[in-house]
Structure 1
Amino acid sequence: MSARVAYLVKRFPRLSETFVLNEFLEVRELGLRATLFALMDPGEKLVHREARDLMPEVRYAIIAGRPWFSAWRLLRGAAAQAATNPRGFLRVLWALLSVHRSVPSLRHAIEGLWLARELRRLDVEHLHAHFAHSPAAVAYMARLAGGPPFSFTAHAKDLYTTLPRNLVIRAKAATFVLTCTRFNSRFLHDMLLDVPTPIHVVHHGTDLHRFHPSRRRPEPDLIVSVGRLVPKKGYPLMLEAMRLMAAAGVSFRCEIYGGGPMREQLEQTVSDLGLQGSISLHGARPQVEIADAYARAAVFILAPIVVPDGDRDGIPNVLVEAMASEVPVVSTRISGIPELIEDGNNGLLVEPGDPAALADATTRVLIDRHMAGRLAKAGRRTVERDFDLTVNSRRVAELLGGSSIDATETRMAVVG
């Protein structure tokens, strides 16, 4: 029988973290006995059908709408775990007193104690946390408290904005670390020079049936972009590229899908540029509507940048989805994106922060239909080879299923 594992995420469900949902469902489909824990429910109004179907069985630390009951339940569970495993409680206490002296760390410790008890009651043999910040912190505390061995996946913002000291501590205690790009892997190897924990690269996979060229019915001159409306996605630069294209007499329509805090700012920019008739913002949409947008797109563009606090994308999943749908793509040369897009072969890349180059590349794809078709077909082949959801999830399942092992007390030690 396969190992009993648990996944831990910070929030569930989240429209922008569909890749976690897809991986979880796929490793289950592959035979792994997996349970999903979440620290909280973000209360998003738009929820994928698959996520909604899963929600009744998700085990939440903080139950939506019941904060006082949740706090009492967490404290009761933490106290029960401390009484059952006093050595584990002392390890958690020492971690708080010696290194993690902050209110968030105290919260992580309580959640970790509660979680260790829940995992023990379910006979979970391995815990996997998605994201290197809060979920990995709670998984680490749960391990100190007497919970099972754990691993975590480092993605993008969580990796580049978490304190290096904390990354080292969590990685040292983990059975292994996963990350979704080779760029991230190099960053981790440089940071964890003296940490023997294995680091594995497994790209996020995409559903090759849901995103398939058989749906294609491209509309001439239609540009599509999908992503959260946050600074690292580079939307102001993209709108400036649209202005340059309009000034050069290029005919286009642009549809932007995604919600986020920059929406009002971007709508105002579109108005200021006089492009209301050419650019429309559609807000967050479920995957079925996004798949339809890919099917209609003549070109897909995304212009990520690195923002001042270090936050950046890894390999944006929307680029993978667009390429799987056989849409020609234009993006920027940052982080892990060149692992997906080889400039001139299966897409076009420009330097980040260069709206003129972005406008030029997008115009080339719109005008040169032969080149667009060649890039699109090569893009689909790339995704089939390296980003198949089932193939990549099988690698994750193999790692999780084979890792219910022998971590030692020394691997759990607090590192100063």
Structure 2
Amino acid sequence: MSPQAGRALVLTSNYPRWPGDSTTPFVLALTAHLHSRGWLSHVLAPHAPGAARHEVLDGVPVSRFRYFWPESAETVCYGGGALVNLRKKPSNYFKLPALVAAELAATLRYAVKERVDLIHAHWSVPQGFVATTVARMLGLPSVVTVHGGDVFALGSGVITVFKRLALEKASIVTVNSSATEAAVRSISSRVTDLRRIPMGVDVNTRADPAVVRSIRAAHAAEGPLLVFVGRIVEEKGIFDLVEMMSVLRERQTDARLLLIGEGQDRPLVEERVARAGLGDRVRMTGWVEASVVPSYLAAADIVLAPSRPAPDGWIEAQGLSIIEAMAAAKPVIATRLGGIADSITDGETGVLVAPGEPAQLARAVESLLSDPEHGHRMGLRARATSVDKFSHEVVTDAFTRAYNDAVTAGRRLEGGAR
């Protein structure tokens, strides 16, 4: 471990509830890497039914604060994320004041108890507002990381006020893409230090050759295998993929589609697949362990990521599954939306099509399948991009600088006040 750089309190509403949880672990990965650089972190997250109040994951201690009773009523976060849960069950909005109040009290308590040097919030609301409020009370620097959904959606006047306060009070604000940066600047022009730092991926994962062979034997038949990894929800373009498969069948392209993930729209997808008579061409695995995903990517001929805008304003801010596919040296077909173009250069490191256009997806698939060597070269260039721009090492370097700069600036202000 590096010499201790400082102590950080990390606030997040998205964090694995237990080892092997389906919750995307990107905040855990970043925090663990910062921990290894000497930034000893304590994570504070909302409690969830069945989760431990206190535990250590990947060497990082996490505490989960209660905010509603009984615990079965703690339904704002997890299971697809707060935005999905608010959309599915509007009554969750009535629980937000309790969540914010509990998070505020817990943040103040742990910041004092742990004698932290910095508070880092993931998402501008409510974590960013809570972090900057407590940081100013205690005279601490704060970093607010905006992931996209918190600025693209939740656009009511009151919530926007809290977003603006968080962004303007933070010592440093980080965003994961150019699209997120534009959204932040549209909310406030008074952000003092705004940095574009994407979330990172493990570019050194290895597929298991035996698992890859079994995946292809089970799902690819004799034709090419198309793979999607992500939440099974409309905004991920899942219905466009089903329609794309109908188009490919009409054109007599003998491809198979494998949908990897879980989500609220799975029953609707299954119904649509059955109605279209695509049961022999489209299969769903449900949620799989993160350790197995590299083998599914390695088994793919093409990886698809056809995200589209959601009715509440959400768009794909970065798309970590896209970058994981790039790291696996696979050609990716994605949509020209949000921050995706920050990762993919059309025709060079992947293919971009318009959102909501299954026919365009089908044509792009046929084009790549007709020239496998071109797809191979595209995948190699994509991997090089993922290593250069999105590896955990590169991203951790950028966040380490942000932490150090925030603390240094805070000390200068403290010295000036004296």
Counterpart position of 1:94: none
Counterpart position of 2:194: 199
Aligned-CA RMSD value:
2.8
Which residue among 169, 173, 195 is the counterpart of 2:169?
173
Which residue among 84, 101, 117 is the counterpart of 2:109?
117
Compared CA separation, residues 407 and 115, structure 1 to 2 (3 A): farther
Q: Secondary structure at the match of 2:273?
A: helix
Unaligned runs of 5+ in 2: 75-93
Counterpart position of 2:62: 58
Compared CA separation, residues 43 and 390, structure 1 to 2 (3 A): farther
Counterpart position of 1:34: 41
Counterpart position of 1:260: 263
Which residue among 239, 242, 264 is the counterpart of 2:242?
239
Deviation track 1:46-91 (CA, whole Å, cap 9, x = no partner) reads xxxxx984499311112899749x9xxxxxxxxxxxxxxxxxxxxx
Question: In structure 1, what is the Cα distance between the partners aligned to 2:368 and 2:56?
Answer: 38
Checking the alignment, whether the CA contact within 8 Å between 1:232 and 1:304 is kept in structure 2 is yes
1:23 aligns with 2:30: yes
1:341 aligns with 2:344: yes
In the TM superposition, 1:47-86 aligns within 5 A as 53-54=57-58, 57-62=61-66, 67=71
1:300 aligns with 2:303: yes
Look up the equivalent residue of 1:324 and give its one-letter code.
A
Counterpart position of 2:185: 189
Checking the alignment, whether the CA contact within 8 Å between 1:301 and 1:362 is kept in structure 2 is no
Deviation track 1:188-218 (CA, whole Å, cap 9, x = no partner) reads 123211x142111011111111157999878
Look up the equivalent residue of 1:57 and give its one-letter code.
P
TM-score by length of 2: 0.81
Deviation track 1:117-148 (CA, whole Å, cap 9, x = no partner) reads 22111111111111122222332343355373
1:157 aligns with 2:164: no
Q: CA deviation at 1:378?
A: 1.1
Counterpart position of 2:82: none
Checking the alignment, whether the CA contact within 8 Å between 1:10 and 1:40 is kept in structure 2 is no
Q: Secondary structure at the match of 1:250?
A: coil
Compared CA separation, residues 362 and 10, structure 1 to 2 (3 A): same
Checking the alignment, whether the CA contact within 8 Å between 1:211 and 1:321 is kept in structure 2 is no
Point out which structure has higher relative CO (alpha carbons under 8 A, 6+ apart): 1
Q: CA deviation at 1:116?
A: 0.8
Q: Secondary structure at the match of 1:392?
A: helix
Checking the alignment, whether the CA contact within 8 Å between 1:213 and 1:325 is kept in structure 2 is no
Checking the alignment, whether the CA contact within 8 Å between 1:316 and 1:337 is kept in structure 2 is yes
In the TM superposition, 1:265-344 aligns within 5 A as 265-344=268-347
Checking the alignment, whether the CA contact within 8 Å between 2:226 and 2:257 is kept in structure 1 is yes
Checking the alignment, whether the CA contact within 8 Å between 2:121 and 2:144 is kept in structure 1 is yes
Which residue among 146, 152, 162 is the counterpart of 2:138?
146
Deviation track 1:7-36 (CA, whole Å, cap 9, x = no partner) reads 111143163432112111111122211111
